[in-house]
Amino acid sequence: MPNSPTSNAPLPDAATSLARAPTAPRKLQPSRPRPSAATWLNRGILIAVPWTLIVLVWYGVAYSGLINPSLVPTPHAVASRFWELLTKGRLLSDMWMSTQRVFLGVACGILLAVPVGFVLGWYRNVRRFIDPLINFFRALPPIALIPLVIVYFGIGESAKIAILFYASFFAGVIVMYEGVAQISPIFIRVARTLGATDGEVFRKVILPLAVPHILTALRVALGVAWATLVASELIAAQQGLGALIQNASSFFQLDIIYVGIICIGLIALVMDLVLRAASRRLVAWQDRIA
């Protein structure tokens, strides 16, 4: 049978065929519009309104006559004392010392809470065995452990960090294992269907899905640690915002107590805002998937 005119022609390879094949136009993701000046102004107003209301209510309570004026220092009196302690006192060193203690306590607590929470969340049998123990110690207030901490750790920095470690660990491990336990197993099945090994499943599936829970555990642990700071600095602390508040309470210096409380809240707020910004960058892939 004679060959057809095209029987001896070379067949195009796969790369050439794919190059010549028509491709569907790629769907570009719409870029987010940059906020305008009016948008930033509206955001600033919304942020300033609740703080302004708090200051106005504070002034109203101070000048209402319903409470002894000596018991409620005015906002400008507290601001004046803050500036005095900042420029002439040791407020900066107190803020730095408290921040350092919280950072060390939370860092140590989260470094242990993440693997423990992961094991509890991933292995159901282990969780059933350990969960009552975790919830028992989580319910104990750190201030109740101060006598034991003094006995075992003394009155140095290790005792204060131990209190903060205790508070941040149990707060972080609960958030961590609850988050890991909610990871859908369908992701694991799909990865194994595609031929992923156990190491690849952990690195490329489980770990990225656990990152949001790690960041949430860190935020919760930071909040609990700052709330426990004053209790930790009851242990013979000479510096720190908790020590500043305790010393001021001994001399009934209410304006200094207000300064210490406001500083704790502001530092905790700044740290939380930094973590939220980091979270938006680290888990931005979730928005793209959604």
Domain positions in the chain: 37-72, 74-289
The per-residue pLDDT for range 180-206, each reduced to its tens digit, is 888 777 887 888 888 888 778 777 888
The per-residue pLDDT for range 227-248, each reduced to its tens digit, is 888 888 877 778 889 889 988 9
Asked if residue 258 has pLDDT above 90, the reply is yes
CB atoms under 10 Å from CB of 8, counted, come to 7
Q: Does domain 74-289 have CATH number 3.40.1530.20?
A: no
Asked if residue 3 has pLDDT above 70, the reply is no
Average pLDDT value for the chain:
81
Are 201 and 144 in contact by the 8 Å Cβ rule? The answer is: no
Closest CA to 256 of 106, 50, 84, 44: 84
User: What single-letter amino acid sits at 114?
Assistant: V
Phi, psi dihedral angles at 4 (to 5 degrees): -75, 160
CB atoms under 10 Å from CB of 175, counted, come to 20
pTM of the model: 0.76
